[in-house]
Structure formats: C-alpha cells, structure tokens
C-alpha cells in the first residue's frame, strides 16, 4: 500500500501523552502518511478499514539507542534486519549508534546508513560519533554530519574521557540543535570489570564494575552541561546514585535528560548466576544454561536490587525521560564463550514495548506515562517535532497493541539476526499486533 | 557414600553431608600412598582427561597421580598444546574431547564458569580444578582433610584466611565449605583485595588487620600473593605487603598455642609467609599436598567408580 492511501482504525483506545489523552471508543483516520482525523464514529471513505475492538493505539515507539552493526558487522545485524526487529516490537524510529566499522564519523557513512535504510520498514536515525574514530581525540565534522542527516552525536560504548573535548563537543553541537548522547563511564574504574561489583561478583570471583564508574562520569557530564548551560542526554542509567544525580540536576534547572533500558528495569545481578531467579520461565524456550549465561552480560551491567528499585522510581517520576533498548545484537557463537570473554550487549527491540506493558500491569507506569517514555520524550530529546504524538498533522507512526495477548519470549522467532536476550521464556502480558509507519502497515502479527 | 552428583564444580552448593562423605572417602584412600605398590584397580578401563587451559604443575600432577593410583588411564592436555591458540572455541575443543569418550574431565581454566559450561555440554563427569577466581573445590576439600588431622572441623573451630581474597578461588571454596560445616571464618586482606559486600556472606568475619584475624585462631591459612598484581595498583610494594600482612613468628604467636599453618602453594617465601614459619613445626603445608592426592582419588572414585557402573 502506498503512503498516500488512507486507513481508518475503528474502535480503539488512544493513548497519547502528547495530547494527554487516554480515551476509549475512538476512530483514527490516517491519510497521506499523516494523522488526519480523530473522533468517535468517523464515517470516512478509506482504502482500508480495521475494527480494532478496543485495542490500544499508541504513537510508535522511538528508540534512542540501538546498534544496527552495519557497516562492518553484518553477521550480527543489518540495518534491514534491525529495522524489521524494530517494527515487530512497535518501534517506528530507531537511532543507531556510531560504533560500526568504519565508525559513523563522516557524512559519507551517515549517507550510506540512510541509503540502506531507505527501504527499511522503520525510520532509521543515524547517530554520528563525537570524536573521529570514537578515539576521543578530535571532534568529528559536526556541521557536515548534521547536514547529511545525523540525528545526534555519541561515542557510545566509550566515554569521551577528555573533559575539554567533551566540553567543546557540547558547545559546538548545541548550535545544530542535535543532542549529545553520553555513555557515562570512567574507563579506569571500569577497566577489567565483567559484572556489577556487589554480592554476586564477591561470591563468584567475577571482576566487578563499580557503580562508581558510572556515577563519577554522570556527575562530570552534568557539571559540564550545567556550566555551559547546554543540554545533554545520559544513556542507559543503571544506578541509584545516577538517578539521584539526574533528579537533583533537573531540580536545579540543568537541561539533562536520561534513558533506562528494560533489562536494567527488570533484572538485577542475581540473573548472572540464575537466569530464572525472578521468573517462572516457559520450559520450551528457557535457556539450557541458567548460570553464567552470557545473555546477562552487558554494559552497564545488571546492578543490585536497590538500583532496580531506584530506576523504577526514576522512570515513574520522570527523572528518567525515556525507555531505550541499547539493542546490541551479537552472533550466537560470539556469545557462546566463557563469560569473561563474551562481548557486552543484549538485544531489546522485540521485547521492550511488551516489557513496558508489564510495567503498566505492575503499576510502575500508567499507559500514558508509558507512551511518554516510549515516544513523546524520545522525540523531544531528538528534536523531532513530526512524531512522538498522534495529534492531527503528525506522521502516522503508531503501534497497535493487544494488551490481553499474552505471549512467551522466544528468541528463535525474533526478526533480529540475534537472539541474545535475557528474557527468553518470559511470559509478557500484551503485545504489538500492528505497526504503522507513515500510514503504511509495516508489521502485522 | 552420599555423593550423587554428576560433577564436582564447587563447594558452594555442597551440603554438609556431601562434604563429610568426601572427607571420609579421602581418609580411606590415604593408606594407599603407604603401600609398596600404590595402585588399586578401582577405575581400571576409565579415561581421565586433565584438561588444563591454564598452566599448573602441582594440581595437574596431583590429579594425574590420583587417577593412576586408581588404575585409570590419565591423559594430560594443556593449553599450550591445545587448539585455543588456533582460535577454536572452548565448546568446540570440548566437543572434540567428548567425541573420544572420556569418563572424567578435570578442568582448569582462567575464567569463571568454564567448568560449569563444559559440564552442561558433555556427558563425561567434570571436576573443576579451578575456574578463574571462582572455585577450586578439591583444594578446599584437601584443606579440610588436613585440618581434620589436627582439629574437629565444625562449630567451635576458627579459621583465618589471609591474603588476596578478591582473586582467590582457594579462599572462596574454603569459605563455602567451612561455613557449611559451621566453622567460623575470619577473612583478612588489604582493602584493595577485599571484595565489596563480602560481609553479606553469613558466617564470615572480616578483619582489617592480620593481628585481629590471628587472635586465638585455630587454623591460619595464608594465600599466595600474585606478584604481578603489583602492576595493578593494588598494593604499594611487596615489601609493604610483607610488612603489614605477612605471617611471621611474632604474628603467629597471636594464634592459639596449637594453631596450624596452611598455604595452598606455591609460596612466596618472605612475602606472605616467612621461611621460619613455613618450615616450622606448626606448618602442615606438605601434608596438604599429600592429602591432595588422597582427596582427589576419592573424588575421581566417587564420580567415576563402581557407584556409577
């Protein structure tokens, strides 16, 4: 179906934080790739009409943090396979990090990513590196990259250790209105670490990554933004202290935003030694290896139970603006190695929204705050005013959710090339059944 | 005998009954070392592969002698000659060895959980001979055998473990086994080598200074300091470490009058322990080595012997 076609979604529950609207029995009319009309009992001629029987319609989720691995690591994921995974999980826009090979530090690479993404089902937003080669030495050509279509700047996976360089990056990027997405980590405190430094690392002899490694760098990043009076975004908060630092910075007016991942919101360090510690896993898809399973290895690591509690509080009160996946696909054989040798990272695109629904059933979020964390806030952080909400005239990017459709996470059925999820065997309460991008149905369960 | 497990991967999950069974069995194997013909046919026709991904002369030799005294065919495979240098994954290496139908794999690896990973992969029984800083169960069990020769190992006994706790699998396996048996364990290390949140483990007493740890203690277990760790900013110098944490005669005088001194070896004489103490009358360090063979015979026998025919 072409994007100038029209689509009428009947009998939906619209949940849109941008309009502060959670309303049942509505019809939504999409035309020319945009939201054209919202009302009850709309009687408009449309190319396609769906009676959705009370299903939820939310703005398409926007992921501030994915790794699509192309160019360079196409065996892990491609822009196309990553975008297919995205729409299968309800994401209509995804910001892809620069740690490809070559690194996305030049307009040519940004253009390549956009070209590859032209035929992909989701909107792909290339994030350019902050420093050339992500080496932390020299700034990339931010003006050229912004003109080529870079949506943001980040040396994700590494931190810009040189504070003067980070200062200049924050100052220079601000004129293009493109955010800096900061992976906060003190490299020396982090070095050699494998899992959270805590009870499990102490008991099992795995080298610890202290919360301190993240917290000192969050403090530094906030201080820079405060001093320079510019905005900054903190990637994947994982610690209680990090939440406290962001909360107090926001209270004094610092333009800081933050994201958290579903895995940090649902799992703590105990998962490293027992993947089934918190869940009754479905026996058909549960992983054989529950202890030292490398699907629990990511950076930042799964933290202590009290950190998870603090993240949930921060997500509920808005200290944490966005849920982002940090989708980090790896080939199965790359993860099927000794725990200490395994690469960091887990996939998340196909489970994040459903885990978000679980946050609603667990009363951490309301449906409206979930929509804010998944769509409205990420759009605002990236300065995308054509999406993130379903007000009339915005892009018809949306997800249709059946909140009663329980399902079991089965990595074997992922659209992503990779299955490195710590949630295999989880029963989730609802799922995305259709995803629409620019008025086109790009995923249909 | 109460030992029904397929593998021996650690002491963390062992019950007191299982530990006691292993110790009793080791007692019965001690006597074989005294015979003129040090061999029993218990594992005749069984193949034991010593799969060492990390160099270790003593542990490997101890397992090899144990296997041979049980009449098993013992084969050694070490990392330097293994396929790891050729870029083969651990699981591929293990699949290849499994294809040769061994009965027992004795695994030493520098990374945590390697033995567990192998145990889940293969039908052969797996003995963890040390995985990273995680576990070294046969060392802890042979330490218990040695302690039992002098003390009643149970409630009322106090053991001090002093040294690089953070990087020590010997310390961890001893902590689990001793606390399971109700022994009081005191831990002492430079703060840079003391894992955070170790104090959350029940039954452990963390002491700041060795003097505190040694006070009236029944067993002193000194750990090896890995000299190369100096590069990692963990302590200022060997000299400083020896001065603050080393076991010398004056410090040993703080322990109970009949206290015994243990060390898993290899020792750095003059660093964590003075020669005077290491060679003194209270040291049982060589008994540990002798008991290692008996204990490993017990482990191999219980895993691969008649009970599992």
Contact A351, A90 (CB under 8 A): no
Interface of B with A in 66-95 (CB under 8 A): 89-91
For B193, the enclosing helix (H) or strand (E) is: none
The confidence score (pLDDT) of residue A1 equals 46
Q: Look at residue A422 and tell me if it is in a domain.
A: no
Q: By the CB < 8 Å criterion, does B133 face chain A?
A: yes
Which residue of A lies nearest to B166 if distances are taken between CA atoms?
A: A205
For A270, the enclosing helix (H) or strand (E) is: none
Q: Which domain holds residue A269?
A: 59-387
Q: By the CB < 8 Å criterion, does B104 face chain A?
A: no
For residue A101, give the DSSP letter.
S
Which runs of consecutive H residues, i.e. helices, occur in B1-79? 16-30, 58-69
Partner-chain contact A338 B114, CB within 8 Å = yes
> What ipTM was estimated for this complex?
0.93
Q: Look at residue A395 and tell me if it is in a domain.
A: no
Structure tokens at A344: 């960091």
Whole-angstrom distance, CA of residue A328 vs CA of residue A345: 5
Whole-angstrom distance, CA of residue A395 vs CA of residue A60: 10
Q: Look at residue A208 and tell me if it is in a domain.
A: yes
Q: By the CB < 8 Å criterion, does B248 face chain A?
A: no
Q: Which of A27, A307, A326, A402 is catalytic?
A: A326
| Most distant pair of Cα atoms in chain B: their distance | 56
**Which among A401, A319, A413, A299 has a CA at the least distance from the CA of A358?**
A401
Q: By the CB < 8 Å criterion, does B109 face chain A?
A: yes
Residue A270 to residues A212, A325, B96, Cα–Cα distance (Å) = 19, 20, 33
Domain count, chain A: 1
The confidence score (pLDDT) of residue B308 equals 47
Structure tokens at B27: 């007692």
Mutation site, B87, B113, B170, B171, interface A, largest A CB count within 10 A: B113
Work out the minimum CA distance from B95 to partner chain A, whole angstroms. Answer: 13
The position carrying tokens 């039954």 is B203
Query: Which residues on adjacent β-strands are paired with residue B126?
Result: B105
The total of other beta-carbon atoms located within 10 Å of residue A149's CB is 16
| Residues in A touching B196 (Cβ below 8 Å) | 197-198, 201-202, 208, 210
Whole-angstrom distance, CA of residue A51 vs CA of residue A27: 9
Q: Look at residue A41 and tell me if it is in a domain.
A: no
The dihedral through the CA atoms of B153, B156, B162, B167 has a sign that is: positive
Partner-chain contact A205 B120, CB within 8 Å = no
Whole-angstrom distance, CA of residue A327 vs CA of residue B4: 42
Q: Is the peptide bond before B307 cis (omega within 30 degrees of 0)?
A: no
| Residues in B touching A341 (Cβ below 8 Å) | 111
Q: Which residues contact A155 (CB under 8 A, 6 or more apart)?
A: A98, A129, A130, A131, A134, A136, A183
Q: Which of B116, B120, B132 sits opposite A340 (nearest CB)?
A: B132
Give average pLDDT by consecutive 10-residue segment, chain B, 309 residues.
Answer: 87 96 96 93 96 92 97 87 68 93 96 96 96 97 98 97 96 98 96 89 92 98 83 81 96 98 95 97 97 98 70
| Residues in A touching B12 (Cβ below 8 Å) | 203
Q: Look at residue A335 and tell me if it is in a domain.
A: yes
pLDDT tens readout for residues A308-338: 999 999 999 999 999 999 999 999 999 999 9
Whole-angstrom distance, CA of residue B194 vs CA of residue B203: 16
Q: How many CA atoms lie within 13 A of A146 on its CB side?
A: 17
Question: Domains (ranges, CATH) in chain B?
Answer: 16-134+289-308 (3.40.50.1370), 150-283 (3.40.50.1370)
Whole-angstrom distance, CA of residue B18 vs CA of residue A245: 49
A398-402/A56-59 β-pairing? antiparallel
Q: By the CB < 8 Å criterion, does B201 face chain A?
A: yes
Q: Look at residue A144 and tell me if it is in a domain.
A: yes
Task: Classify residue A160 by burial, with Cβ atoms within 10 Å: 0-12, 13-18, 19+.
Answer: buried
Partner-chain contact B111 A289, CB within 8 Å = no
Whole-angstrom distance, CA of residue A226 vs CA of residue A224: 5
Q: Look at residue A46 and tell me if it is in a domain.
A: no
Work out the minimum CA distance from B113 to partner chain A, whole angstroms. Answer: 6
The confidence score (pLDDT) of residue B234 equals 82
pLDDT tens readout for residues A189-234: 999 999 999 999 999 999 999 999 999 999 999 999 999 999 999 9
Whole-angstrom distance, CA of residue A190 vs CA of residue A209: 5
Q: By the CB < 8 Å criterion, does B204 face chain A?
A: no
For residue B34, give the DSSP letter.
G
Which residues in chain A land under pLDDT 50? 1
Task: Classify residue B216 by burial, with Cβ atoms within 10 Å: 0-12, 13-18, 19+.
Answer: exposed
Q: Look at residue A213 and tell me if it is in a domain.
A: yes
Instruction: Residue A82: give its domain's CATH number.
Output: 3.20.20.140
């Amino acid at each position: 179906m072409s994007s100038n076609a029209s689509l009428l979604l009947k009998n939906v529950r619209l949940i849109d934080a941008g309009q502060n609207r959670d309303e049942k029995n509505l019809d939504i009319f999409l035309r020319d790739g945009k939201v054209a009309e919202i009302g009850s009992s709309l009687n408009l001629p449309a190319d396609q009409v769906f009676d959705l029987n009370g299903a939820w319609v939310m703005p398409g989720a926007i992921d501030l943090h994915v790794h699509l691995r192309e160019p360079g690591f196409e065996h892990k994921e491609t822009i196309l396979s990553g975008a297919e995974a995205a729409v299968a999980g309800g994401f209509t826009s995804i910001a892809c990090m620069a740690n490809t090979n070559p690194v996305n530090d030049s307009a040519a690479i940004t253009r390549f990513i956009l070209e590859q993404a032209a035929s992909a089902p989701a909107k792909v937003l290339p994030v350019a590196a902050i420093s050339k080669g992500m080496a932390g030495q020299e700034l990339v050509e931010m003006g050229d990259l912004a003109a080529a279509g870079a949506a943001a700047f980040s040396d994700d996976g590494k931190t810009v250790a040189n504070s003067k360089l980070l200062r200049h990056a924050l100052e220079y990027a601000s004129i293009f209105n493109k955010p800096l997405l900061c992976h906060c980590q003190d490299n020396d405190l982090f070095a050699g670490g494998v899992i959270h430094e805590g009870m499990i690392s102490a008991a099992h002899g795995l080298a610890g990554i202290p919360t301190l490694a993240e917290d000192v760098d969050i403090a530094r990043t906030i201080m820079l933004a405060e001093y320079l009076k510019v905005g900054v975004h903190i990637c994947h908060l994982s610690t209680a202290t990090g939440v406290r630092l962001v909360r107090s910075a926001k209270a004094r007016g610092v333009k800081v935003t933050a994201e958290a991942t579903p895995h940090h919101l649902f799992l703590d360090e105990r998962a490293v030694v027992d993947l089934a510690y918190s869940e009754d896993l479905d026996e058909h898809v549960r992983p054989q290896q529950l202890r030292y399973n490398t699907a629990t290895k990511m950076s930042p690591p799964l933290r202590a139970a009290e950190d998870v509690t603090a993240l949930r509080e921060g997500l509920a009160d808005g200290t944490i603006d966005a849920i982002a996946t940090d989708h980090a696909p790896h080939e199965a054989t790359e993860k099927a190695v000794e725990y200490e040798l395994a690469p960091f990272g887990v996939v998340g695109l196909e489970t994040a929204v459903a885990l978000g629904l679980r946050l609603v059933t667990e009363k951490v979020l309301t449906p409206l705050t979930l929509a804010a964390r998944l769509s409205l806030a990420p759009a605002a952080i990236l300065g995308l005013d054509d999406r993130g909400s379903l007000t009339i005239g915005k892009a018809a990017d949306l997800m249709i959710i059946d909140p009663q459709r329980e399902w079991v996470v089965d990595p074997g059925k992922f659209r992503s090339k990779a299955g490195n999820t710590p949630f295999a065997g989880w029963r989730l309460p609802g799922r995305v059944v259709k995803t629409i991008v620019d008025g086109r149905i790009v995923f249909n369960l | 005998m109460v030992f029904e497990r397929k593998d021996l991967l650690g002491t963390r999950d062992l019950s007191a009954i299982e530990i006691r069974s292993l110790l009793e069995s080791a007692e019965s194997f001690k006597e074989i070392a005294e015979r003129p013909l040090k061999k029993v046919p218990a594992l005749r026709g069984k193949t034991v592969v010593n799969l060492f991904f990390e160099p270790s002369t003593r542990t490997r030799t101890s397992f090899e002698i144990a296997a041979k005294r049980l009449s098993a065919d013992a084969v050694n495979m070490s990392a330097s000659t293994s396929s790891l240098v050729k870029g083969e994954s651990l699981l591929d290496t293990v699949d290849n060895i499994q294809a040769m139908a061994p009965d027992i794999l004795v695994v030493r690896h520098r990374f945590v959980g390697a033995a567990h990973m192998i145990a889940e992969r293969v039908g052969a029984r797996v003995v963890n001979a040390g995985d990273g800083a995680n576990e070294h169960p046969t060392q802890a069990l042979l330490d218990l055998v040695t302690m039992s020769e002098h003390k009643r190992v149970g409630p009322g006994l106090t053991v001090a473990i002093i040294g690089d706790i953070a990087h020590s699998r010997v310390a961890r396996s001893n902590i689990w086994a001793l606390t399971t048996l109700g022994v009081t364990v005191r831990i002492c290390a430079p703060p840079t080598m003391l894992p955070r949140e170790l104090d959350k483990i029940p039954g452990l007493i963390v002491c700041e200074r060795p003097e505190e740890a040694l006070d009236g203690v029944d067993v002193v277990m000194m750990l090896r300091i890995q000299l190369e760790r100096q590069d990692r900013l963990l302590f200022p110098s060997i000299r400083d470490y020896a001065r603050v944490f080393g076991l010398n005669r004056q410090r040993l005088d703080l322990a109970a009058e009949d206290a015994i001194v243990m060390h898993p070896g290899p020792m750095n004489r003059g660093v964590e322990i003075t020669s005077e103490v290491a060679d003194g009358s209270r040291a049982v360090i060589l008994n540990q080595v002798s008991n290692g063979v008996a204990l490993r015979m017990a482990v191999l026998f219980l895993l691969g012997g008649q009970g599992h025919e």
